[in-house]
Amino acid sequence: MFDYKGYYILLFALMIAGCTSFQGNTDKPVAKVSEKTLYRSDIDKIIPHNISEADSALMAEDYIKKWVQNELLIQKARENLSPEQMDVSKELEDYRNALIIYRYKKEITRQKMDTTVAFDEIKDYYSRNTEYFLLKDNIVKAIFIKIPNEVAKPERLKRYCREYTEEGVNELKDYCLQYAKIFDMFGGNWVRFKDVLKHVPLKIENQQRFLSRKKLIELNDNDYYYLIYISEYRLAGQAAPVEYVSGQIKNLILTNRKIELLKNLENEVYEDGVRTNKFSIYN
């Protein structure tokens, strides 16, 4: 029977030793189940060098417990399964073959698949499949500013946002970098409206109605002036702008390329086998 008392004594010793103890070269046993022994060197392999002593001890404790549980389960299985049930050679061979094929296909994909996707290709895919790219959220192109009340100049900020010239944008950035608590133009990209609203003390019950009526949101609390300027918006249920889903479309195009490449690989291997008489099929 496994000595649980001794096991927990060992755990306590490991926790006291900390992570530095695991770096030594002495290969001492730390746990044993029947004839199987877990050594300190086994634990060395899973303990990172850059963690605290407390974290090191916790990782060691968890690893030892799982190792003991696993060995006990294996022991129990051997006691209760028939020799036929214990024979896993077929499963191991199938898994080995599947793993080799997977690695071969992965290498062929790495070598031969073109991962460059031009934006024209993305737009073409989008135009042929627009109905599959409907928005689940309201999205906006917006500018967000949070600035202390005492330095806020609302009229100037609103003018910069509305004009949106190169000179105005540069002046807005300069002003906000100097005074604003938070300032974000979101890179000119589409973002979810609810993510923008997280920054302001405002709750909107009907976002769609709100977006259809307002391009400018401004409010104050005791400390700050908040400004959200919305230059464009799209509502949930509408077709997403191609820029918003371009990353998703690129992944779909690459996935289709990969499927086609691997399908061609399988066909070529089979045709080569036919041509070179590498296999026979019997009736």
Tell me the domain boundaries of the chain: 4-84, 102-133+241-274, 135-234
Predicted local confidence at residue 18, as pLDDT: 42
The sign of the torsion formed by the CA atoms of 259, 261, 262, 263 equals: positive
C-alpha distance from residue 98 to each of 240, 259, 262 (Å) = 39, 17, 15
For residues 45 and 273, what is the distance between their CA atoms, to the nearest angstrom? 44
| Single pTM value for the model | 0.72
What average pLDDT score do residues 90-95 get?
A: 96
Most confident of 18-22, 135-139, 275-279: 135-139
Output the average pLDDT for the chain: 88
C-alpha distance from residue 254 to each of 2, 115, 125, 257 (Å) = 53, 7, 12, 5
Name the pLDDT band for 4 (thresholds 50, 70, 90): very low
Whether the CB-CB separation of 38 and 54 falls below 8 Å is answered with no
> Which SS3 state, helix, strand or coil, does residue 210 take?
helix
Instruction: Please state which CATH number belongs to domain 135-234.
Output: 3.10.50
Q: Give the model confidence (pLDDT) of 192-211 as tens digits.
A: 999 999 889 888 889 999 99
- Residue 105's nearest CA partner among 250, 268, 249 is 268
C-alpha angle 35/38/39, rounded to 5°?
A: 125
Predicted local confidence at residue 10, as pLDDT: 45
Which residue is listed with tokens 């109905």?
131
Name the pLDDT band for 20 (thresholds 50, 70, 90): very low
C-alpha angle 247/248/251, rounded to 5°?
A: 90
Q: Could you tell me the two tokens for 142?
A: 């917006």
Whether the CB-CB separation of 38 and 59 falls below 8 Å is answered with no
Lowest mean pLDDT among 10-14, 52-56, 173-177, 186-190: 10-14
> How far from the centroid of its chain's Cα atoms is residue 107's Cα?
23
Strand partners, 227: 145, 218
Whether the CB-CB separation of 225 and 121 falls below 8 Å is answered with no
Predicted local confidence at residue 26, as pLDDT: 58
Strand partners, 224: 148
